[in-house]
Structure 1
């Protein structure tokens, strides 16, 4: 339970009392999907009562961002700056890790948010879709934490130091209850497959551009996988 509490204190803005030692979660980062169930479940419970797809999509995205403290969204913005920077690997890393917000950050935030927003308006079951998307996003975070070789010291390098290759198995297993939701099983299977594909692409891209992974890349992956999952479910 300490591991779960440390996870939720790290991934959410929920008031959960006295901070638990972060190492409890670091040793079990395969638990990431549980945070997806909590964040996505709360968001789904809120939008279940909203009839308008437009309003529900807005509220759903607002809920997941607020519940996560916008930490992963911040990673997306930083990743966007690094992605759009010109020049050497060192310049890209500097652009991603500095405190300023550039055009790349704005573009990344707008594009990913618009894709998720438009997709949510088209899905057959919006509450179930936001839950699936949030769990898949956290599965991807677990994958990158396990497989992403860090290029600098930080939270990601700390978590990666405790991660083991077998963490991929329980992280995936924790997503299997999604098949109980009132959505086509093929859609959920494709969502999980898409999660793995996006995670692999982010690993390859970050190795090429930055020489490895940091917390910004992991956070950006969370946001991109959420949007990608929503779009896939909308197209189904």
Structure 2
């Protein structure tokens, strides 16, 4: 009896921890309401990163679903604007804000310390605005092209769009564990010092399960190279993420919360462009 009670208590505690972790991930990375007060302790934050790919898949899935609903009802260009608005609304522009702050800092060509100070400034400079505009135009043009594909191809786009957003969030977790922090004792990134390699390993497993599940629920509809495309997404994520992070570390001496968002935005845009090339 006692042993059974202990097992039940342990399972309840584990379930509570995982639900807290998932809720934390959605509270941090989206504007999707999670009406629960969760303590943002280093341990909870570390566990939450396992669910970052799930957050990405939800965002990508909602955007893809909105695209399917708009495809025959709205012309391609206005539909692409609506999809971008949905995309930004879901994330609250969190990663776009990080992109702008990072661009202002690293493109100022100042000293490393001055770059980091500029990135902490809540005001947005010219380089941040220009970078954000260019990235949004890049996404807009890719979405416009995708909106012109057939309904059959959209059934292939749905799971691949989900996974594109999942891969970009997975890289944030990998970067936390693999690369140094620029400000180890301050800023949002410093709260994730408890992230170790078991967390990105778990996040990678979650991503693989999401990929398998997405193609079971939404078959590729005759798109025979869907699995290869998925592998290419992973390869592009690793290649682009590694190059960007190494470049940023050379500039800043490490990564920050802003740079995580910037890299995620760029990876997401590259993956969207790749899907456009595959489908069009």
> TM-score by structure 2 length?
0.78
- Alignment pair present for 1:221 and 2:263: yes
Q: 1:102 aligned to 90, 112, 125, which one?
A: 125
Q: 1:91 aligned to 111, 114, 120, which one?
A: 114
1:73-222 correspondence runs (5 A): 73-123=96-146, 124-125=153-154, 126-152=157-183, 153-159=186-192, 161-176=193-208, 177-178=210-211, 180=215, 181=218, 182=220, 184-222=226-264
Q: CA deviation at 1:43?
A: 2.1
Q: CA deviation at 1:53?
A: 3.1
Query: What are the ranges of 5 or more consecutive residues in structure 2 without an aligned counterpart?
Result: 1-18, 147-152
Q: CA deviation at 1:32?
A: 0.8
Select the structure of larger CA radius of gyration: 2
Write the deviation string for residues 89-127 of structure 1: whole angstroms up to 9, x where unpaired.
122222222122111101210121122221222335354
Structure 2 equivalent of residue 48 of structure 1: 68
Count of matched residue positions in the alignment of Structure 1 and Structure 2: 235
Structure 2 equivalent of residue 232 of structure 1: 274
Find the aligned partners of 1:143 and 1:53 in 2 and give their Cα distance: 35
Q: CA deviation at 1:28?
A: 4.0
- Comparing 225-234 with 165-174, greater Cα deviation is found at 165-174
Structure 1 equivalent of residue 26 of structure 2: 8
